């Protein structure tokens, strides 16, 4: 993984934590979003891990780097394997065509970043 993506991943993490703290104190809309997120990712008919894998595929389709970083980390924390994450990325690539392969490159670096720290 190149240092540019490593730095980007670390910056996404730091910025998200800072913004989360800021908006939790100052924004009722953000607080509502966090409540919705927590309700969405609870185990139900689908496990939290399965929902995170779905979110990874969607993140690739919409090319949301912050989303990829967050949902890959969450999926790993929920016990997803590298193979499961790659398959969810592949679904995103198929759904979005060529642009999805560009997003998948960043997702690959996120996987490597978190796998190295295990």
Determine the straight-line distance between the first and last CA of the chain, rounded to whole angstroms: 16
Residue with tokens 């609870």: 42
| pLDDT at res. 55 | 98
Q: What is the pTM of this model?
A: 0.90
What is the tens place of the pLDDT at every residue in 75-102?
A: 999 999 999 999 999 999 999 998 899 8
Pick the CATH number of 3-116 from 3.40.50.12160, 3.40.1380.20, 1.20.1290.10, 3.30.2350.10: 1.20.1290.10
The alpha carbon of 76 is separated from its chain's Cα centroid by a whole number of angstroms, namely: 10
d(CA 89, CA 99): 12
Domains in the chain: boundaries: 3-116
What is the tens place of the pLDDT at every residue in 44-57?
A: 999 999 999 999 99
Lookup: tokens for 12: 């996404």
The stretches of 3-97 forming alpha helices (DSSP H) are 3-26, 28-40, 48-62, 65-77, 82-96
pLDDT over 90 at 2, yes or no:
no
């Amino acid at each position: 993984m190149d240092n540019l993506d490593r730095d980007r991943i670390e910056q996404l993490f730091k910025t998200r934590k800072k913004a989360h703290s800021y908006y939790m104190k100052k924004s009722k809309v953000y607080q509502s979003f966090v409540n919705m997120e927590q309700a969405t990712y609870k185990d139900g008919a689908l496990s939290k891990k399965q929902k995170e894998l779905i979110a990874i595929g969607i993140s690739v389709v919409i090319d949301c780097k912050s989303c990829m970083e967050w949902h890959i980390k969450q999926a790993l924390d929920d016990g997803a394997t590298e193979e499961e994450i790659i398959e969810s990325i592949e679904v995103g690539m198929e759904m979005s065509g060529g642009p999805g392969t560009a997003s998948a490159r960043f997702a690959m670096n996120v996987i490597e970043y978190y796998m190295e720290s295990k």
